[in-house]
A and B are shown apart, each in its own frame.
Chain A
């Protein structure tokens, strides 16, 4: 699972208030080699929650990201290249994601996260 995906994931059980961000406890991480794509990085960067990404990266052992995103860096080609690598090429193969509100754990196995919920855990909707 990519850190880009993790940046958007939340725990959507009825008892979680925000359920975001999920804490990563990785046991295996794999680096893939997706080709650098500048337009994509620039596009998704606008929608990335930066502090969450910094936190997630450090949970995966990457501590090179700046704690805040200075505007000067957003056009720097070498920075964008590195950011693309962190967002797309760092994959959590196995480990656990934990909801900050409820402590519910979602296991990751073979790169696939298990988000199966019981009907009782789901948000109730009016019909």
Chain B
């Protein structure tokens, strides 16, 4: 299936018929609910009271339904008015509020408003521009800096997204780090094409380490850390040592963490010297 992001603006793609299809498709409902549950798990909320949560890219309210079942109150934003119309027809949604809004334009809330934020399958839309005025990187940074403001200190944000390329995941994490967030990308089921899911988990806490992805024998993910990404780390060259086994393994490890898939496996031959006669 081709990517809907390449067909134009989200508001145009999710029109009335598409929104209704989306909302009644049992496969979609199942996947969205599952992702939202996992996002809530990664959010690690204090559940001794109902939380006030922001849902960016709420769509037809499938994720809001899960939030409600967990007892939380929420505010949903979406760029597609048709999706919101479907969401507002949902009878049960009395704990949620909806607003028509484009996440690339910032967030219309005062500071420290929310206990947490989730976003399901929406963030990748910011990587595409649909008019000459839209600069993807500017929209991403604007979104993250607004997010930094509207969350309460100590709150976390979990954004599930579908990166088209590993570079997109890196760009998104870099923009998040630029505004001061700590955290990183958690990849669930990295070896499966269908079940593979990327979650960008953000926190204010400098020392925050992202939870492990599910069923991952080889842990992969891009670490976001503004302290290292903004400053260039000076590499001290050692003389005469050459490419040692440790150097090669480290280099491969970095490549894997960046998300490159065609990195050679580590074997007993890695970094071994060839025989003299060769």
Name which residue of chain B comes closest to A18, CB basis.
B110
Among candidates B94, B107, B133, B135, residue contacting A12 with C-beta atoms closer than 8 Å: B107
Is the CB–CB distance between B49 and A43 below 8 Å? yes
Q: Which of B187-241 contact A (CB under 8 A)?
A: none
Q: How far is the CA of A42 from the CA of B191 in the complex (A)?
A: 45
Is the CB–CB distance between B97 and A1 below 8 Å? yes
**Number of A-B pairs, beta carbon distance below 8 Å:** 107
Binary contact readout A46-85 vs B (1 if CB under 8 angstroms, 0 otherwise): 0101000000000000000000000000000000000000
Which of B12-20, B118-126, B137-145, B157-165 contacts the other chain?
B137-145
Given contacts A4-B73, A116-B102, contact A40 B49 (CB under 8 A): yes
Give the chain B neighbours of A126 by CB distance below 8 A: 141
Is the CB–CB distance between A10 and B50 below 8 Å? no
Given contacts A5-B75, A5-B97, A10-B110, contact A119 B50 (CB under 8 A): no
Name which residue of chain B comes closest to A121, CB basis.
B105
Is the CB–CB distance between B88 and A125 below 8 Å? no
Binary contact readout A88-114 vs B (1 if CB under 8 angstroms, 0 otherwise): 100000000000000000000011111
Name which residue of chain A comes closest to B109, CB basis.
A8
Is the CB–CB distance between B102 and A117 below 8 Å? yes
A127 CB, min distance to chain B CBs, angstroms: 5
Q: How far is the CA of A126 from the CA of B106 in the complex (A)?
A: 14
Give the chain A neighbours of B51 by CB distance below 8 A: 43
Q: How far is the CA of A56 from the CA of B81 in the complex (A)?
A: 26
Is the CB–CB distance between B73 and A125 below 8 Å? no
Is the CB–CB distance between A115 and B49 below 8 Å? no
Give the chain B neighbours of A88 by CB distance below 8 A: 73, 94-95
A-side interface size class = 35 or more
Give the chain B neighbours of A32 by CB distance below 8 A: 94
Q: How far is the CA of A33 from the CA of B138 in the complex (A)?
A: 42
Q: Is B255 an interface residue (CB 8 A)?
A: no
Give the chain A neighbours of B84 by CB distance below 8 A: 112
A108 CB, min distance to chain B CBs, angstroms: 9
Q: Is A27 an interface residue (CB 8 A)?
A: no
B168 CB, min distance to chain A CBs, angstroms: 16
Q: Which of B77-105 contact A (CB under 8 A)?
A: 77, 79, 81, 84-85, 88, 94-95, 97-102, 105
Q: How far is the CA of A116 from the CA of B11 in the complex (A)?
A: 11
Q: Which of B27-78 contact A (CB under 8 A)?
A: 48-52, 73, 75, 77
Is the CB–CB distance between A12 and B134 below 8 Å? no
Given contacts A88-B73, A119-B134, A125-B142, contact A112 B50 (CB under 8 A): no
What are 26 sample pairs from A and B whose C-beta atoms fall under 8 A apart?
A1-B99, A4-B73, A5-B75, A8-B109, A10-B108, A12-B105, A12-B106, A12-B146, A20-B110, A37-B50, A39-B50, A88-B73, A110-B85, A111-B88, A112-B84, A112-B85, A112-B88, A112-B98, A113-B100, A116-B100, A117-B105, A117-B106, A119-B131, A119-B133, A120-B133, A125-B145
